[in-house]
Structure 1
């Protein structure tokens, strides 16, 4: 029997990957896609229904708010009517006064023939001239100033009037009553009068009329009326008229959402005020053509067609309004679907209706529903495409694996460690794999770039120190009272000034034109006392007209105690010509150094990514191989695989730490700080390292408070700091040792403690333990590491407004703590 030929490593790895990973993954994804398709519609419909409900609630809230606005306007009118009625009663009951002078025509009508700035009077011939009470008319004329003020104080008021039992009409503003009213007008027979009497209004309260055609010629209006009694006798009726046109202006000013409009409906569901847009929807005309001759003879109300219940298309809406004080209903108007929201105007019992286009209300909701559906299809297509690309990529990577990886990886790791310790030119590692050879060469290039960057930085620092040592100075005083400057030192001679004292204008003439506005602004700011110190750079011309850079610094010596204006300044001039030249050179050198640093950062990032790609594949396939290789059947192979796994994990962690450290050196991270509950976070970190703790035979203990403790931090970076400290406590501990996690409160700071019973650190070495790539003599031990973890911990702690401290004693153990600002529970 011939033995079956064993597959090659590439075939074996690919088969293992397909059987243990790809097939289960495909099945899981198919189930997830099916679940998504089944649940997406239900979730989408629920969300859209919620949005529709929210839109209807917003519409109802808007009409409620606008109804309160209308109600407030009407309450003010009612309050004004109450005031007018009370003052009229006072005047009528006060007695006295002279009889009014009114014209009497041939029909027996007394009236005011011309406008004298007051109210108009009309005494109907229904009361014979001999029985007409002219003294009452005279007392009422004392209210003309009040009526004028009330009319001017509220734009809704069209007119104010008093109508008496004997058919006398006192109305403001004035108009030709004799020409407008019929001579025998019987005022008590009109609708507003019997609405005010004791039979219809036993409480003698303010009542509102329906919309009627005004006999006085103001068009369609409504009135707030108040009965005026002399004991139990109805002496007359006070009223304030509001025109429908004025009320329409108020309703048109209401800000309704979705370009809607508002309309007013009476208690008996008759349309009282309808804007132009509503006329088109309801097929009604607001009746702008009036027959005043008919209105004078009898009261004219809006036709029955304005009643919602009498129109087929609005009959259902009328029933809904009659049943509920507020609500929202769908209605078809003019061939379009509308949403009508209504609420009751509390003061009058009228209803305010808001009409909006349903398509506009739900336009965003419908667009969102369509968008959800598109996103679902795109997600499914993207997921399918991703797995197709992923499977092809993994098949390609499986072909590139090799067995000879451990030695070159360890050599490259050693090179990086030497660079971290300052040995910029480590010995080049060699390998049979081209990618690893390239990686080794890139690592060597990093060392050269770092060496060049350090030399450039040192050179720029020496140039700057040289410039500062060679700077020249002169003293100056600026007296703002005399607008003059006094110089002491080398400046007058060097720049060829006519004397050591110059006027402000003479000084400013020497300034470069481009610098003059800035210097004038600084001087004006100091003059007004807006600052205590002065600093400015400018170019100053010498006797030959050549400009030189000067740095001027000064401070206020004297101020006016009353105005706060500055009176005297003093300071120095420093010649910074050389400094400006060196600054230009320094900027160029800094740019070069920065470019080198950025190249270093990009190189480290590229190397890390290039190394992580094969390393992750190595780690994954080594784990698969280790799962199929038992220590009993092939102990040597199992040992080799364990070594590969250990070295791969170590190198993966090392690459992550180097990449984080390089990123922080290039540009400090912008952490998003937020409240973090640390006791839960510490227990989470403990769970992550629990397996390593048990493998090392260690004990993990806790001294955490029962109540939550909040600090200001970034959760991911704080978790990274704690895991680094726990990792060190595990690696540098003794057999059967202990690790303690604790929280201590120190004023406004919280200390997160990680304590171990390990080897400890000598006091003379503790100052260097937070430096990058420092392992304090443990470089050649069996304990893996690169010496970057603690430096990263310190950087992240400071970026979170905190710090790290340590106490350690050889043979006893070490205690590390992370100090962070606590957030008060208040």
Structure 2
């Protein structure tokens, strides 16, 4: 046993304990009188406190009801305005229309906005067409209404409109594409279906249970109201109130006896719980939610937040289920609690006010303690010196222990941090020269280890980058050599074969045979020339020798030029240009744009069946021109589709078709150089569709000559 502890124990045995036994005799007489007075006080205090606790619960429940009632009134106004907007056609200004885009996955959504704008999201579970876009335009006038309601009520975090076909308009604006999941079925969420005819036949404002907001607001409760059209439920409007707001309201309650309140939902789920309640129930209030990915279904509070899952809260659950205000006693956190409940009309919640019974009886207990303290005073006076001396010994022993142990623990902590990779540490100072020197040397060592570790990581990253670059270059060169070898082998074989025939049978060949062999040699030479030109154009493009000089080009002239080379197609493949907008012009570099489109058309012809048709169509879309090139050829395999725009890449079904694998790569690069976009869709055995978006010129093409 340490010396300090042994001395303290010795003083306790020889002086303090005998004196305590003498004083206990004096305390007995005080205890009998104090206990009788205490029991009478307890009975009176219980009656008064239970009534007061019930009055507090009723008053605060009415306050919460009045606060939420204002939100319900605003929700009804919002529902009426939404019904009027859905029934009224509207054409928003172009600036508003430009905030929306139709994504390739079928989602129609906003891509920009400010704090004064709303966000829109058509999930695509119902295909988005003109009728759906018209519905979006009709809801645009709701933005000022949502702004005014949001500013009028500090409780409302956000407002939204959800339609039966999974369209959501929500205020304030946020990035809906990053938060919502495509093809999200909105009517399957509780903030929609709890307002439908089956759950809400009275068509009134209803409140949801707590759920995780898909828009990223964390735990929410919502006031929702249906909006009916002539034939069906068209939409559900809602206003979100964060659970954190309700918790703040509960935390702000100034309750006597160190009591607290908790808000219970219709199904018995705890909606709001202050920190004191968290300690008593052993849970943490769910004020936030981590969005590792988009929310795809309803997410409610866990089961341990329900009164039915806790035996200790069963008396409260029974009182709430019976819809009567009464005082019950429960045991939480190792202490007896008095609980009063009151119903919050409207959402159907219940407010439960709890207070420790010991605190309620504090006055009566204080009187009893006062009588007890009188008896203890004499004992305290006698013991004060011995206890003080005993405490002094303990304090001294602990001070010396801290003097030595704390620096060692601090140094151990520094070593652990260095061991986990936190190499840069500050040297702790303790005022002991030897220990301070050890700490400084340890920190210096950690800094050197960190510097060495960073150098190793940098060298490793540099080597990895060099290996990746080398692998990429080697792969491209090998693929290029394989393509050239394959493309040169066939025409060279034809040339060699024709040359041998001309040499061996020169005297016996007819004029027609000679011409036929000559044409075969010329076609083979042309094929080699095409491959070399494609490779040369690729090199020029990558070296930056080709510059883009955009100018207005008549759309009709540009597209009709693509059909001319196909007129003499030996395979009978027709290139048809149709659906050309009148007087349209695109702002492009004519040579580069024609090369890009010609590469796409040439690809379509090469992979088309004999006698097939390649169709070229154009359509104006806002400030761009959409050019669609369709063929009826072999199509592209799904596993090849992501790679067809890589240079020198050729798909599994292109073995017997000439080409260097640069066509679509050049086309995509040239289109992007002209500030355009290229998209490819294909079905094996049915053909391929290539869509090119090019910017429109400001002036009309009707005023421009269509000559080359």
Larger RCO of the pair (alpha carbons < 8 Å, separation 6+): 2
Which TM-score applies when normalising by structure 1?
A: 0.39
TM-score, normalised relative to structure 2? 0.45
If you compute each CA radius of gyration, which structure gives the higher value, 1 or 2?
A: 1
